[in-house]
Amino acid sequence: MATVVIAIDESKFAQYAFRWYAEHLHKEEYKVVLLHALENLFMKDMMGPGRHEEFNIKAEKKAVALKELYTKLAQESQVNPEIRVERVDTKPEHAIVDIAHKENAKFIVTGTRGVGVIRRTVLGSTSDFIMHHARCPVVICNMD
């Protein structure tokens, strides 16, 4: 069974990418992993004890909201995914590439915010990183 990893977050760009995948690429035999990599990098060290607990509560609420949102989108699109929100000790784009590799993904789907060349060059881009570092094909969905 081929695995497809779709990077998700709460943005309209990620939702568009999921819908585009469902309409254009999905096959019933695919194992679909909707993945949100929640950056946990140095959070414990950067925050005091109360702030870390606050971060955990917000993270858990975000995870529940994402799972609810994508469960609804999946039902509408007739896709039966595994929805994962994983805390990672690295940047999300690194985790997406690593997890896709571990899952032996056939391909990765991600959205893009469509930022300009200068901003992307200075700040970097999650989709650019995934495209250049993944060991499998990457589908980048742009709303424009």
Which CATH topology does 3-142 take? Answer: Rossmann fold (3.40.50)
Average pLDDT for residues 125-135, to the nearest whole number? 91
Domain ranges of the chain: 3-142
Taking CA atoms, 132 is separated from 43, 54, 108, 120, in Å, by: 27, 35, 12, 14
d(CA 25, CA 10): 21
Cα angle 3-136-119, degrees, rounded to a multiple of 5: 115
Q: What is the pTM of this model?
A: 0.87
pLDDT exceeds 50 at position 93: yes
Question: Please, which residues have CB within 8 angstroms of residue 65's CB and are 6 or more apart in sequence?
Answer: 10
Q: What is the pLDDT of residues 51-80, one digit of tens each?
A: 767 777 888 898 899 999 999 999 999 999
More confident call, 6 vs 59: 6
d(CA 129, CA 99): 14
